[in-house]
Amino acid sequence: MPQVKHYGVFQFKPEVTPAEIATCFREMAGMVGRIPGLLDFAHGPYDSAEGLNDGFTHGFIMTFESPQARDEYLPHPEHERVKAIVVPCLGRVTVFDFNMPSA
């Protein structure tokens, strides 16, 4: 069964502080180990001279062990709790998922 890469980009509202941004990502990282099938989480600020970020300032990538694990993550209470912290801080968000071929 293929793994799923779940990635997104954020544009935080102008009034959101660096400390609040750090809290958002700390909470997101904390879902690993609490949500079955969520294997890893990485994040960071935009860092490229290309300038193709369209105003998005931060990104993240999650890996799920399967499409089913991703589907079960979406309504999971821990995900809903973290969304309640993160979403109010966002001006814009885009999320995109794709399957990784099995080896």
pLDDT in tens, 53-93: 999 999 999 999 999 999 999 999 999 999 999 999 999 99
Q: Which helix (H) or strand (E) covers residue 67, if one does?
A: helix 67-73
Global pTM reads 0.93
Q: Which of 6, 85, 98, 77 is nearest to 35 (CA)?
A: 77
How far apart are the two ends of the chain, measured CA to CA in Å? 9
Q: Where are the domains of the chain?
A: 15-47+67-91
Give me the DSSP letters along 6-51: EEEEEEE-TT--HHHHHHHHHHHHTTTTTSTTEEEEEEEE---SS-
Q: What is the pLDDT of residue 101?
A: 84
Q: List beta partners, residue 45.
A: 58
pLDDT at residue 103 greater than cutoff 90? no
